[in-house]
A and B are shown apart, each in its own frame.
Chain A
């Protein structure tokens, strides 16, 4: 047996401090994720006599919907619409990096995936994590519409003033019409998916599942990818209409 005291791990003190700080910031919205009452392994036969308050996702969501005013949901909608801009910038930057660094195939595959994800990213977070902050499908579609508009506007400005020297009037018209319509259409397609995901979660009082929205989001990506691929093929074959 060793003589003398064993040293205590100093990381225990630091961990205690860090976790205490995190615990102070935690709220019921976080706690519901770790509630035992939604665990699939919960044995109801063993816990039926427990009189402690039962925090379930369904109860939490119902309570949140009841206590969240319509005004709050519109304030959140406006914030999501405003946040769509900065996210769109980030998406456009990632996209432009990809375009310059990688090949043609990725123009039709990776770029649509990145862009159509970024356009709806903020709205998707709200639907998945705080579904009670939307009150109607219209609010979600509005957020997606704003994401598409903000992204296409930023992309057009970058294209027409930075990447392309002396763009032709035809290209300017195409970018501000066809490309805007494309981005908005794809965002709204993905938005339909978010609405279905949100509606199912709210109706059944279960966490919204991304798999409900996935076909629509992927559909938006494919639509976008087909357009990108078609335009690139036209350009590469020498039929450059710009």
Chain B
């Protein structure tokens, strides 16, 4: 599966558009990680627990988006975008969307 945030893919042409695909998630770490992060906040540096949280959320949102693209029989998702929301405190909320397409090697035109 080709995933790109550009509208076209060099060396390929879009032969079919399958439609909008999307994936979202709202994730949180357990209370222990929240407490540890609040202590780390005092001394500064990377809050690794929250970095993990954001990474997990991003990957899960992308996987769900790709799952929808597979259901549609697409072999690529172009024009991928990410956005966040604010549903609840202490959680990472990711929304990924793009256009599912069928690509074939070759040039447009």
Q: How many A-B residue pairs have CB under 8 A?
A: 71
Determine whether the beta carbon of B52 is less than 8 Å from that of A14: yes
- The secondary structure that dominates the B interface is helix
Considering only CB atoms, which chain A residue lies closest to B20 in the complex? A41
Using Cβ atoms and an 8 Å threshold, which residues of chain B touch A9? 51, 55
- Is residue B18 within 8 Å, beta carbon to beta carbon, of the partner chain? yes
Supposing A11-B48, A36-B21 touch, asked if A19 and B60 sit within 8 A by C-beta, the answer is yes
Using Cβ atoms and an 8 Å threshold, which residues of chain B touch A43? 18-20
Considering only CB atoms, which chain B residue lies closest to A14 in the complex? B52
Smallest beta-carbon distance A133→chain B, Å:
25
Considering only CB atoms, which chain A residue lies closest to B60 in the complex? A19
- Is residue A46 within 8 Å, beta carbon to beta carbon, of the partner chain? yes
Complex Cα spacing A43 to B20, Å: 8
Complex Cα spacing A51 to B16, Å: 15
Partner of A50, one of B20, B23, B51, B72: B72
- Is residue B105 within 8 Å, beta carbon to beta carbon, of the partner chain? no
Partner of A34, one of B19, B23, B48: B23
Considering only CB atoms, which chain B residue lies closest to A33 in the complex? B64
Using Cβ atoms and an 8 Å threshold, which residues of chain B touch A50? 18, 71-73
Supposing A34-B23, A39-B68, A41-B22 touch, asked if A11 and B55 sit within 8 A by C-beta, the answer is yes
- Within A124-174, which residues are at the interface with B (CB < 8 Å)? none
Using Cβ atoms and an 8 Å threshold, which residues of chain A touch B34? none
The interface bits of chain B over 1-24 (1 if a CB of A lies within 8 angstroms of the residue's CB, else 0) are 000000000000000111111110
Complex Cα spacing A156 to B103, Å: 68
Using Cβ atoms and an 8 Å threshold, which residues of chain B touch A35? 68, 71
- Within A54-93, which residues are at the interface with B (CB < 8 Å)? 54-55
Complex Cα spacing A240 to B96, Å: 61
Smallest beta-carbon distance A48→chain B, Å:
11
- Is residue B90 within 8 Å, beta carbon to beta carbon, of the partner chain? no
Complex Cα spacing A96 to B37, Å: 33
Considering only CB atoms, which chain A residue lies closest to B24 in the complex? A34
Using Cβ atoms and an 8 Å threshold, which residues of chain A touch B63? 19
Using Cβ atoms and an 8 Å threshold, which residues of chain B touch A37? 71
Supposing A15-B59, A36-B71 touch, asked if A41 and B19 sit within 8 A by C-beta, the answer is yes
Smallest beta-carbon distance B109→chain A, Å:
22
Partner of A47, one of B19, B22, B59, B67: B19
Using Cβ atoms and an 8 Å threshold, which residues of chain A touch B16? 46
Determine whether the beta carbon of B71 is less than 8 Å from that of A19: no
Considering only CB atoms, which chain A residue lies closest to B19 in the complex? A43
Complex Cα spacing A22 to B17, Å: 31
Using Cβ atoms and an 8 Å threshold, which residues of chain B touch A14? 52, 55-56
- Within B44-72, which residues are at the interface with A (CB < 8 Å)? 48, 51-52, 54-56, 58-60, 63-64, 67-72
- Is residue A16 within 8 Å, beta carbon to beta carbon, of the partner chain? yes
Determine whether the beta carbon of B18 is less than 8 Å from that of A51: no
18 contacts between A and B (CB under 8 A): A10-B48, A11-B52, A11-B56, A12-B59, A14-B56, A15-B52, A15-B58, A16-B59, A18-B56, A19-B56, A39-B20, A41-B22, A42-B20, A46-B17, A47-B72, A47-B73, A50-B18, A55-B71
Determine whether the beta carbon of A52 is less than 8 Å from that of B52: no
Complex Cα spacing A11 to B52, Å: 5
